[in-house]
Structure 1
């Protein structure tokens, strides 16, 4: 199934991009001890898969609204799309989906971004024409993935109902992005849009998950990007990396790095950067220009 190209697809940059990837070769899979499976790959004890579903239809929108207890959703929600990483030996399940992300948007409940036109809206003579900004219409989420440990193999196959949460501990370790840039075969790659909103043509807001699997390990980037033209830019990146290591049967080592950046257009202009929104179309190029609001790295405590 194919979908119309969304604006974020036309403007997103090349961070971790593998646009030219057309599938692994049989030789690459064999050399890595990997196996291609529907929607993904099985390698070094991990089962890594992605799924792309359509934009929610009206019936599905109603279900989402009921679950979230809201009448507000992004313009495009890919409610059936997801990325999952499972390690059956330890019961580890990492999952990335729109519903859980929007649950955390609802819980965080940030105040709405005041756009430049908002000051004028307040003084309209006709109350019915006034725009009421009483919720976070940017759908900013602190979501960094859904995780659980399955209590048994049956649970691993059937769902998350009989699971307990995973434990993440702060660490001084860092994801080696230089090592990740080394050239090696790509066993699996995909980018999955979870939701997107063009903010009534006043900017862009989207959440995507990109996963790349190599013989040495896997890497996932979950990115929330927001640009409200003339007001604010916000980037929330979650990077996860697992190095397979060389020892057979060794417990997986998974690092998770959270980095949130944000700045107003006024603050960027004061630093000498352009004030034109067109200069900030690609979040990968904008990222290092935005000041860091929060950054930390965590290590997954692998179940015994």
Structure 2
């Protein structure tokens, strides 16, 4: 299911810099050839063995694309009037201590960009959340994949905006782990079987259990980058 009209767009008016999140460019990053290796459902091996015994003349047909719809989408960036774009910044970080403060939330929302139940073999969903406070804003674009009895994958893009400094920090973190390993960790946390079933539907309960396989931090400062009007130039 593609929710093509859903989107989140951040606009810095003085410089016209934008960072937006849409379904179409996210899906465009999905592997279309299967060159990165195709995931298989947990019963694929047993099914193939049975088929070989009954229909040895039938050749295997594989969908020539990543049917899990995994994407590394981090948003669509449009440079400011002076060409400002996000650049890799090893020293940049998202100040969690500020985000954990009990500042009043002025606006919060969530939109789903696309979602699939993978033919009843799990879930694949890309969504975007935004939370706006008086001095700062946080965006979370999250891809969550649960392929039952095979794999769990979470790819998070967090965008932090400091309104006073007019600074944007984007942090991308990819995590993934085997389904059974995640299940063991949930048992170790003391969850009962019914609680584990519920946990596997919630990426928030699984993300911290998954090993990090990729991480990248970028930043851009937009302060003072706007085009001055005639009155402002005087």
Same fold (TM > 0.5): yes
Inter-partner Cα distance in structure 2 for 1:122 and 1:274: 32
The residue aligned with 2:4 is 79
Report deviation, 1:254. Answer: 0.7
In the alignment, which residue of structure 2 is the partner of 1:117?
Answer: 43
Give the Cα–Cα distance (whole angstroms) in 2 for the partners of residues 254 and 165 of structure 1.
11
Displacement, 1:121?
A: 3.2
Shift of 1:135: 2.1
Structure 1 position 189, deviation (Å)? 1.2
Are 1:265 and 2:185 an aligned pair?
Answer: no
Structure 1's 184 and 197: CA in aligned 2 closer, same or farther, altered over 3 A?
Answer: same
One of 91, 100, 119 as aligned partner of 1:200: 119
Provide structure 1 residue ranges, at least 5 long, that are not aligned to the other structure. Answer: 1-75, 153-163
- Is the 1:255–1:299 Cα contact (8 Å) retained in structure 2? yes
- Cα RMSD of the aligned pairs, angstroms, is 2.7
Q: How far apart are residue 274 of structure 1 and its match? A: 4.5
Aligned residues: 212
Aligned equivalents of 1:272 and 1:242: distance in 2? 34
Partner of 1:37: none
Distance 1:243 1:272 in 2: 36
2:108·2:129 contact (CA, 8 Å) conserved in 1? yes
Per-residue deviation, 1:273: 4.2
Out of 196, 203, 210, the residue aligned to residue 290 of structure 1 is 210
TM-score, normalising length: structure 1: 0.63
TM-score where L is the length of structure 2 = 0.80
What do the CA deviations read for 1:6-48 (whole angstroms, capped 9, x no partner)? Answer: xxxxxxxxxxxxxxxxxxxxxxxxxxxxxxxxxxxxxxxxxxx
SS in structure 2 at match of 1:259? strand
Structure with greater contact order relative to length (CA < 8 Å, sep ≥ 6): 2
In structure 2, how many angstroms separate the alpha carbons of the residues matched to 1:201 and 1:180? 37
